[in-house]
Amino acid sequence: MSFVKGLKCRECGKEYPKEPLHVCEYCFGPLEVNYNYEEIKKVVSRDVISKRPPNMWRYREFLPIDGDPAVGFDVGFTPFMRARNLEKALGVQELYIKNDAVNHPTLSFKDRVVAVAISKAIEFNFKVVACASTGNLANSVAANAAACGMESYIFIPYDLEQTKILGTLVYGTNLVAIKGNYDEVNRLCSEIAGKYGWAFVNINIRPYYAEGSKAFGYEIAEQMGWRLPKHIVVPMAGGSLITKIWKGFKEFHKLGLVDILGTKVYGAQATGCAPITTAVKEGTELIKPVRPKTIAKSLAIGNPADGFYSAKVIRESGGWGEDVSDDEIIDAMKLLAETEGIFTETAGGVTLGVTKKLIEQGRIPKDESIVVSITGNGLKTQEALVGKIGEPMTISARLAEFDELLKTQNKSYPVKRSA
């Protein structure tokens, strides 16, 4: 059973039926899923949710599919951990990592949105799923389409990381590399969606797709013991995730699943592609498109679809927007790996780098709870680290050479027995 009333325009409020629509025909505003919260309130409680299996579907009343999910049964409920070593390194008292770098099945938060989008596309009776992607979405659409036997077409900028290309092709999809940046890929995909009528998960299925991100926020609330953090830092590409985490927090508060809604939401971008944080810093509502130039390719969207709304969430919550350079991104990736043993992709470097900066600026106080949103896996963006983290110490398979190596490192260990 579904608790979805239909779709509703974010701008003028006009309501639409539950169909594969994404733009208001009156004002061209984006459409959003509209729920019957009174009915949801009658059936969900902390207790009901807690007893369900540990995946994203434990919040199914808040997700926009009518029947059972068609794919992605194990998605979500990713680790949430207190990061004690990182707390020391940053000089703060209470810091957590929400780790979607190990989401199922393709190691990024996109598995959440894709599980909802493909399930919905099947309910709408589409035969082909497609997407425009900066990499993680490509991986996830290809994998999930394969798992439910659907034909898929995936469109990417031609210069993505090798692992993201291989990690898409392996699922036997139709991968089309476009000689252009993401914004050009996206424009083409809008035309293809119009002409062929496919289910483009992040275009015509976007209102449903985007709802999957709310579960990232629900899980944080539940994993913190049914409360919200004081501060959360979220990476921004198209800007959808940050708006949906905020929507999820507000829904939980509205239904009494958390008592206090006092979270400040911070958006993180790379300096080489910072249209949203620039608008936040300049205090303007206008998101000026940029031409991306950053190693954080998964965040390289110069004309973000939800830019306006993400800036609004940041303002409304009392947060801030900040960005970091490529060098700062790499430093933060190393910091997370060396302190907590978590290997995140460049986007995670952006998020942690920005967190560090905001703490140093005093915008995030050191004695309040902070959540860092890690959304993707470092194994997918290894190119960014080549030449930046040293080389292995290569020796022959001879004990004498190893002894020599320890000496050159100025390290000495007690000898248990002579060889």
Closest distance of CB 132 from Zn ion, Å: 24
Closest distance of CB 200 from Zn ion, Å: 21
What is the distance between the alpha carbons of residues 125 and 146, in angstroms, rounded to a whole number? 17
Cβ contact 317:253 at 8 Å: no
Taking contact as CB under 5 A, which single stretch among the options 4-12, 33-41, 216-224, 289-297 is the one that binds Zn ion? 4-12
Q: Which is nearer to Zn ion, 24 or 101 (CB)?
A: 24
Cβ contact 129:121 at 8 Å: yes
Closest distance of CB 8 from Zn ion, Å: 9
Under rule CB under 5 A, residue 170 binds Zn ion: no
252-291 residues near Zn ion, rule: CB under 5 A? none
Taking contact as CB under 5 A, which single stretch among the options 7-15, 37-45, 58-66, 77-85 is the one that binds Zn ion? 7-15
Closest distance of CB 285 from Zn ion, Å: 17
Element spanning 348, H or E: helix 346-360
Q: What is the dihedral of CA 376, 382, 384, 385, to 10 degrees?
A: 120
Whose CA is closest to 237, among 188, 171, 279, 292? Answer: 292
Q: Which is nearer to Zn ion, 14 or 227 (CB)?
A: 14
Q: Which is nearer to Zn ion, 25 or 316 (CB)?
A: 25
Residue 382 token pair: 């290894």
The sign of the dihedral angle between the CA atoms of 274, 312, 223, 3 is negative
Closest distance of CB 338 from Zn ion, Å: 49
Q: Please, what is the Cα angle at 366 between 364 and 369, to 5 degrees? A: 75
Q: Which is nearer to Zn ion, 285 or 327 (CB)?
A: 285
12-41 residues near Zn ion, rule: CB under 5 A? 12, 14, 24, 26-27, 29
Residue 371 token pair: 């959540």
Under rule CB under 5 A, residue 79 binds Zn ion: no
Under rule CB under 5 A, residue 180 binds Zn ion: no
Closest distance of CB 206 from Zn ion, Å: 15
What is the distance between the alpha carbons of residues 274 and 52, in angstroms, rounded to a whole number? 39
Residues that bind Zn ion (CB under 5 A): 9, 11-12, 14, 24, 26-27, 29
